[in-house]
Structure 1
Amino acid sequence: MPSDKTVVQPSSGPLPASSVGAALAAGLSVARSAHAAGSDVIRIGMVGCGNRGTGACREALLAAEPVRLVAVGDLFPERLEISLKNLTKYADLAPKIDVPAERRFAGFDAYRHVIDAGVDLVLLTTPPHFRPLHYAAAIQAGKHAFLEKPCCIDAPGYRMLAAANEEARRKKLSVVVGLQRRHQRNYLDGIQKIRDGAIGDVRFIRTYYNVQGGGRAGWRRPEGMNELEYQLRHWGVFLWLCGDHLVEQSTHEIDVANWVMDAHPVRASGLGGREKRFGPGNGDIWDHHAIEFEYEGGVRYFCQARQMSGTWDHVSETVHGSRGVLTLGTGAWGFGKLTPRELRDRKRVAENPYQREHENLLASIRGTGPYRLDAEYGATSSMTAVMGRMATYSGQLVTWDEAVQSELRLGPTRYAWDAEPPTRADATGAYPAAVPGETRAW
């Protein structure tokens, strides 16, 4: 289990009550910080210090002046040190980082301590399972927030997000979600063309998030590491932590379809399975999905999502209209083969949506740009992906109302290092996975 050396190791706490509204209402009244005045420093806290959290923090620190990172939290102490080391090696970032030992927190309660460490803005970049809980706590405390996608991995989490969003709107808190295509010029221009009637009425939509992946043979639990810690460290292959790659990754494409339609689907059906992602080290998620979503009025959206080595790589979103066809973007970042690193190297930062989303968030906080509460559409698109997974895992037709009313919660009954994990491997090291026609998926 993780060491508590060199960092504060908070005690683990109980799971939130099922009544999310009551939990929010019971929160402390926290005075808003004076960050809205243009020259005041925006104090940032980071919860989740992995690669994505570190990248998001870098972008936030580059987005506007004056900003300062003042607190960090993660389940694992070593992640704190690695993240801070990687951030401080940049000469332009080091002066903006002020995180002494007393503001470095590890453990399941780290998020609470970061939120209470005098921050104005909290970056929530842990594995997705924890997002609703952390977001609700941040909003309850009166903090602005950046949420990495997806925003939820089950219906109880979606309902927690919805309650927190209502609170955020009442408090005029600014929130941006890591669905960066919403900040990307080619997507913004393409959506406007559709709104202007360039391709006529939308008939159907196709998206693909087909990439390499799957198959991690031999990735077994090390001697001395308990099962819960193993799953938390390798969260990307466990359903309760990532929601399946359909939710964790393809929410990007699903969000684009919802953006085009300015709505969520009303039902979904689909299929999928595990062709290469099985055996020791591969968790319990699938490696491919194909889903047909239907919107009110009959427009269909066909979604493919695959992580499978040796297969066709293709990521794109194409909208078919009565008078034409428009492809909004291609490639994992929507720029064909350009990556965010290449965008920086080519001095095209203005085109980098990962940077733009943080600039837009800080502008919303300061009042120098439009007010943003992106967690509203972030919650809807994340739940749309969850509905798709419900359809593929169960092999059933699932309606939106059935999906959002589901009481099936993914996760342990309590958060502690000695807690029983939601799933365990069999004698061969393989984890049980969903079986259509048998699995209860909602």
Structure 2
Amino acid sequence: MNYNPSKQSSSSSSSSSSNRGMGHTDLNPARTTAPTALEVVFENPRLGKAPREPSLELPRHFTSLASDLSQETGQIERRRLQGLDNPRKIRHKLAQLKKIDLIRNPHQQIILDHWERLVIIAATIVDSHLGNKDIAASTITKLNGKELSRDTILRDKRIIREIIKLTDELYLHWKHELALELLLLLDTPLSILRQQSTQKFDKFTLLLKQCTPSTKIKSSVKLYIPFLVLFLRPEYSLAAVQKALQTSLFDKSDWDAFWKASHGPAPVYDPIRDVWVTEKPPDDLGLIEFIDYKGNYPAKLYVQISGFKVFEASLNLQEKAAQAGESQAGCTRTNSSIFAYDWSEDIHGPVMQQVMQDLAKFGVLKAQEIYVDRTSVCLSSSSTIVPSGRLQIVVPVAPSDGSLSITLSGQGFCTAVEWNMRTGYILDENTKLSTTETVKYISLLLVL
């Protein structure tokens, strides 16, 4: 087949001219605009999307509480719903808090209120601060029913510090105990609190500062978080708890008042004055119930005890005392600075028998049947006085950290003596034992 270039060119020219006349686009390659280049964008799924600005919208639990506290009726109703309007109900709440021991009774975690969980977390912060990290870790695991990640544990600690900061700041702003009740009034699950940032807590604080506590609201006790922690950890001092939680609103006198209010006679409602009052019991109330006349056998002494006497503890006594100190459990606080371990004949009994045998062997007292009031005590930065008509035998059951001394004082004397496991003490009636640290010992009171 022959190829004719001129005809091909003529045909193309004619066709091109014809197309222009019909209004079609010029197809001449020389005059055609270059097509837009195709742009392909690859995304790395691992990088994710650009982070959004964090929302400062407060959760419903926060806004609902702020709304209620903005008016007197809301404040009264909120307190009523949480049982804060009745001192007897508050005492019951504190009594229930005192019974919580998740390490021995992990099943308790399923019935805890939101505020109780927060107090327990606060207690673990103190545990860790004082070096008791095993107790803290075990408590956290029992509280949540599983081991938590380090990030979640740190988040929970931050929540406690935010709530303490909130209550402290509002107490100073309001000058009213209603601020301390926010721990209970908040009534918010831990899962929701974990989602709240510091900025949200700050916004919440500013919102609550616009509220004014009603003059009709009277709090029976200061529900200060360190005070509540001491219910769970009675062996700690208030100073240590406050340092760990970074708060110092109240001092030991406030703690003593809190303890007295929560353990003294239950208040009763006076409808005439519209107040709760505490009735003072008669001086002779129940004395017969506490005196064991059948066991009231006096001790016969061969030596005169004037003020106090120090004796050397035998090796058997030291070993049994050390074993008792490690094995004893349970505690009952008797006042703001003293608590007693649960007495066990298997644990503490051998110590009592050994010291009585040793003192009889030393010629201090006669080996016979005598009445003994026995207690295993933890005394923290406080003092005790031997009752009249009694002789006290003190046996240390826990070694001291470094050098430690106690002060024994009475009429005409005040002496500092070394405190250690190698020494026992016999204190005459009205002798005062004082310490600025924490000491643990078995106390035996004999009738003179």
Report the TM-score when normalising by structure 1.
0.22
Which structure shows the higher helix fraction? 2
Q: Which has the higher contact order (CA 8 A, sep 6+)?
A: 1
Report the TM-score when normalising by structure 2.
0.22
